[in-house]
Structure 1
Amino acid sequence: MSPLPNLDTSRISTVVPATPRGENHGEHNLNYMDLLMKLHYIRTIHLFDSEAVQSLPFSDLKAPMFPLLDSCRHVSGRIRISESGRPFIKCNDAGVRIAEWQCDKTLREWMDEKEYSVDGLVYDHVLGPDLAFSPLVFVKFTYFKCGGLSVGLSWAHILGDAFSAFSFITKWSDTLAAQPPPKSLHMPNLTKHKSLSNSITDYPISVKKATLVDKYWLAANDSYVATHTFHITFKQLHHLATTFKSTDTHTKYFEIISAMIWKCIAQIRGDYGPRVVTISTTNVSNGVENEFSRNDFVLSRVETNLSPGESNLSELVNLIAEKKMNENHVLKKLMEESDVKGDFVVYGAKLTFVDLEEGDFYGVKINGKKPVMVNCDIRGVGDEGVVLVLPGPEDNDGNNGRMVTISLPGKELDQLKGKLEKEWGIQYYSRLGC
């Protein structure tokens, strides 16, 4: 995918905070984790049917952005580089970009053709080449021929993690529903299931040095990395849990799904199968809500001396659940020693599993209606690949499956599709009831 913007939208405009501040511009300092993630971008879509949209005009969708940006002004700022070389955000109210696109397909036709992909529904943006003029956020509204709507977000990861991105869109929908925007935005209050293992002290494996693409904040890949989303139904989740035969009631579906995919990818890669992987989990150690917008997660390594492809599922699940080694401390040290000037790849430096399943991503509503589908992927993934696990839509019984979005080198992804269907009954694409 080209780092240059995709200009297939019919209309692009800029939204700034509702309250002008004149020349009283502030600065938003970036911490080590923000800067570590600067080459990555979070992309989300929320798809609504025509009953939810009820022919809402574009002006009504755009209007809530103005007061929303009052509560998070750095989101509409621009990157600057200090004399020491450290990036920061100048809160100059330069704004976020809003794109409107009219699609000549129905929502059903689009999904049958594109499946669950975010491509085409999210504005294709990266920071650069002129950072002073590069928006940190794009929101793209796509109207379908049937009256349905997609709300697509492209979010520079330097602003905050995936929960921050989803929180931003949730607060937009709250404001759309005439709820006053908060003075500050907050992350979901997640449940802490297990404590993480002790921090490691050696060099972190969860990052690697990056080669930049020209003057853009985007890393180059050695191979073509493709992305595909699998919908795992609640019935299939139950089957996976039964196969695992866990006696631990706290075992998460994320851990079982990650173990299954780790095992499959190891078999595909053969002797080169990954014996070390990275686990990204939300930082809930303090038991309190985290302030919006920040990169507040834990990167951990999981290692095994055994072949993951030959291990049984329970062994890999227990490794992921019990043997994570927190790398945040050494990551901070690495950034401090490099004077935060280094460029790193995090997602895909090693095979990376991202736990998003606790998020209330269906809390975004239009006219009181939930989206029929939500998805998320990450741009800037390294060659080892990344797996995101997030909630799926509710079925007729009110149960949630999982959306599993996987980015891997193209040939490996094709093989994985076949293995998941043949061995686990997980199809390439299963229609949602929308």
Structure 2
Amino acid sequence: MGVEKLISDVRLSSVVPATITGDDKVHEFTNTDLIMKLHYIKCLYFFKNDVVEGLDIHDLKKPMFQLLELYYHASGRIRRSGGGDDGGRPFIKCNDSGVRIVEAKCRNKTIDEWLAMFMNDASVNEELVYDQVLGPDLGFAPLLFIQFTWFKCGGMSIGLSWAHVLGDAFSASNFLNIWAQIMAGQLPPQFLKKPTITNKFINSPLLLSPVERLPFFIKRVDPVGDHWKLTNTCKMQSHSFHITQKQLNQLIFKGCGTKVKPFDAICATVWKILAKVRGKYSSEPNIVTIIRRDDKSCDRKTTEVSSNGQVISIIEANNVIVSEADTSKLAKLIAEKVVNETRVVEDLMKKENGTSDFVVYGANLTFVNLEEAKIYDLEVRGKKPIFASYNISGVGDEGVVLVLPGPKNLNGKEGGRIVNVILPEDQIEGLKNEMREA
């Protein structure tokens, strides 16, 4: 049965903030927000039937009215300063246009059957998270979609499609976690206070040297106008690996040394493997991008409900043949030789007036550390999801590797890490074969 036949009975509706936001309120994007404009975060959670039994769409939508009082900018629509179609800097007009709710059914598969398919073909999960792109009618496009899909077994998945221009993966996770807290009646009243809007990019005190070249971690693309969609030069494919805790320990102790962190060990292993795969027909990836959580902003205040606070760094493997290097050497490079390029964005986008179009994920081979994302903190009726997964759409041709916390119990396997990759289609099979050996 084709994937297109697995999902049916799709219905769309909207939710708006519980109270009117007010006239003439806007949310200005930061420069880091705008450099992420062509990327979208896809969040997916699965809950068993005993957790969601008796819940209907009204129960699920009701907390969102309060949630959007806090995230009222997510209910707005994008406009441009100066009134130009493609020349003005984008911002959000906080006009309470709402976020989209998607209801769907999977009548032919249980959650267990779906997850079994997912471990063989990660693309099936795309059916459970709405395929969102901002534009071409940019002024009318919702900034996020939340999809609830009920399965044959009575279980349910929650899929969030979140425009990266709103904030990073940690912001998207916080959004859903707060929704669940409101639904459980557990959220303290102070969390429902509206944040103060600040124009973060205007009159910035940060003074940097002029940008003489594009930083290595981004790639300029042809102007997209009001259709914020990346066009790849090759077909991209997604795949997912579950590295159990036992396998992870073996990977660290045998290949990298006991002091290496799990993320660094995984990145080093995948980097070396992809260098082998790509080296057969093109040059090795000697420069990679690392995207991590900004520890200084990880405990975000209520007034900073969402932001692109991640740290973007690069690593150059100078005078190193990556495909032949010891994994421990690559892991050490990742741990010790990263160059933080995040601050370069401020000067670059100020010079461009926030109107140029770039790719970050996939400009180089990109590794994203989501180990500390609180994706298993989302609880419905006091129960955590049996499985959760995050992904990115709008990825450049060099590909992206996301490292996530592993499930508590998936087919009898506990913990470890989930590794989601999006790569050119012709590299996936080689990666799968090499990963089995590793």
Matched, 1:260 2:269: yes
Partner of 1:14: 14
Partner of 1:91: 94
d(CA) in 2 for partners of 1:400, 1:74: 36
Partner of 1:403: 418
Query: Given the superposition, is the C-alpha separation of residues 225 and 212 from structure 1 closer, same or farther in structure 2, using an over 3 Å criterion?
Result: farther
Q: CA deviation at 1:24?
A: 2.0
Instruction: Return 259-268 or 326-335, whichever deviates more.
Output: 326-335
Q: CA deviation at 1:201?
A: 8.6
Q: CA deviation at 1:9?
A: 5.1
Partner of 2:346: 332
2:136 to 117, 126, 129: 129
Letter in 2 for 1:221: N
Q: CA deviation at 1:328?
A: 1.3
Residues 236-282 of structure 1, C-alpha deviations (whole Å, 9 max, x = no match)? 1111111135253xx32111100000000000111611000000011
Is contact 1:202-1:330 (8 Å) kept? no
Instruction: Return 99-108 or 255-264, whichever deviates more.
Output: 99-108
Residues 337-390 of structure 1, C-alpha deviations (whole Å, 9 max, x = no match)? 112111001100000000000122100011111101000110100000000001
Partner of 1:73: 72
Residues 32-73 of structure 1, C-alpha deviations (whole Å, 9 max, x = no match)? 000000000000100011121123111111111111000110
SS of corresponding position for 1:59: helix
Instruction: Return 100-109 or 135-144, whichever deviates more.
Output: 100-109
Query: Given the superposition, is the C-alpha separation of residues 288 and 154 from structure 1 closer, same or farther in structure 2, using an over 3 Å criterion?
Result: closer
2:394 to 370, 375, 380: 380
Letter in 2 for 1:370: K
2:240 to 218, 226, 229: 229
- Give the TM-score of the pair, scaled to structure 1: 0.88
Partner of 1:191: none
Partner of 1:158: 165
d(CA) in 1 for partners of 2:248, 2:287: 25
Is contact 1:55-1:147 (8 Å) kept? no
SS of corresponding position for 2:179: helix
Is contact 1:211-1:219 (8 Å) kept? no
Aligned ranges 1:105-120 → 2 under 5 Å? 105-115=109-119, 116-117=122-123, 118-120=125-127
d(CA) in 1 for partners of 2:8, 2:409: 34
SS of corresponding position for 2:192: coil
Matched, 1:366 2:380: yes
d(CA) in 2 for partners of 1:339, 1:54: 50
State percent identity of aligned pairs.
46
2:300 to 276, 289, 292: 289
2:364 to 335, 338, 350: 350
C-alpha RMSD over aligned residues: 2.3
Query: Given the superposition, is the C-alpha separation of residues 180 and 286 from structure 1 closer, same or farther in structure 2, using an over 3 Å criterion?
Result: closer
Query: Given the superposition, is the C-alpha separation of residues 274 and 184 from structure 1 closer, same or farther in structure 2, using an over 3 Å criterion?
Result: farther
Matched, 1:314 2:328: yes
Q: CA deviation at 1:175?
A: 1.1
Structure 2: which 5+ residue stretches go unaligned? 1-6, 196-208
d(CA) in 1 for partners of 2:174, 2:194: 7
d(CA) in 2 for partners of 1:361, 1:12: 25
Letter in 2 for 1:296: G
d(CA) in 1 for partners of 2:298, 2:48: 36
SS of corresponding position for 1:240: helix
Is contact 1:201-1:330 (8 Å) kept? no
Letter in 1 for 2:252: A
Query: Given the superposition, is the C-alpha separation of residues 184 and 381 from structure 1 closer, same or farther in structure 2, using an over 3 Å criterion?
Result: farther
Query: Given the superposition, is the C-alpha separation of residues 228 and 213 from structure 1 closer, same or farther in structure 2, using an over 3 Å criterion?
Result: farther
Partner of 1:138: 145
Matched, 1:273 2:284: yes
Structure with the higher helix share, 1 or 2: 2
Partner of 1:427: none
Matched, 1:207 2:210: no
SS of corresponding position for 2:379: coil
Q: CA deviation at 1:112?
A: 2.5
Q: CA deviation at 1:203?
A: 3.6
d(CA) in 2 for partners of 1:339, 1:29: 13
d(CA) in 2 for partners of 1:8, 1:37: 32
Partner of 1:416: 431
1:239 to 232, 236, 250: 250
Is contact 2:70-2:305 (8 Å) kept? no
Partner of 1:172: 179
Letter in 1 for 2:37: K
SS of corresponding position for 2:254: helix
SS of corresponding position for 1:235: helix
SS of corresponding position for 2:186: coil
2:105 to 102, 118, 122: 102
- Give the TM-score of the pair, scaled to structure 2: 0.87
Name the count of aligned residue pairs: 402
Q: CA deviation at 1:111?
A: 2.1
Is contact 1:79-1:87 (8 Å) kept? yes
Query: Given the superposition, is the C-alpha separation of residues 389 and 184 from structure 1 closer, same or farther in structure 2, using an over 3 Å criterion?
Result: farther
Residues 192-235 of structure 1, C-alpha deviations (whole Å, 9 max, x = no match)? xxxxxxx9996411000123568520111110011111111111
d(CA) in 1 for partners of 2:224, 2:112: 36
SS of corresponding position for 1:357: coil
d(CA) in 1 for partners of 2:226, 2:299: 39
Query: Given the superposition, is the C-alpha separation of residues 286 and 51 from structure 1 closer, same or farther in structure 2, using an over 3 Å criterion?
Result: closer
d(CA) in 2 for partners of 1:311, 1:174: 47
